Amino acid sequence: AQKVTQAQTEISVVEKEDVTLDCVYETRDTTYYLFWYKQPPSGELVFLIRRNSFDEQNEISGRYSWNFQKSTSSFNFTITASQVVDSAVYFCALNSGGYQKVTFGTGTKLQVIP
């Protein structure tokens, strides 16, 4: 069985602050894939990143960075110098077991206040 926990339901930050969204996952498989998606107020789901279980290197893309730690089963997402356009619901997701079914977390709603 696979499970994704996003304990933070809602977070509010002031513009330009840094913010970290937590994601903890559970799987018994040694090969698995982790994802982050963004759902802005307009409603679409936008893919942000995919990582496999064999690559623990942190990744940075502009103001976005991801910290993957197998030891704690976490795949956290940090936004540096947040902007109002970052306001959205962010979903962490897990795929494991060689099957295409993806388990989504419950999402973290981020509000960036100007």
Residues that bind other proteins (CB under 8 A): 31-33, 35, 37, 43-47, 50, 52, 91, 95-96, 98, 100-102, 104, 106-107
Degrees to nearest 5, angle at CA 8 with 63 and 19: 25
- How far apart (Å, rounded) are the C-alpha atoms in residues 93 and 48? 11
Q: 7, 8, 4, 6: which is closest to 26 by C-alpha?
A: 4
**Closest CB to other proteins among 18 and 59?**
59
Q: How far is the CB of 9 from other proteins (least distance, A)?
A: 12
Q: How far is the CB of 98 from other proteins (least distance, A)?
A: 4
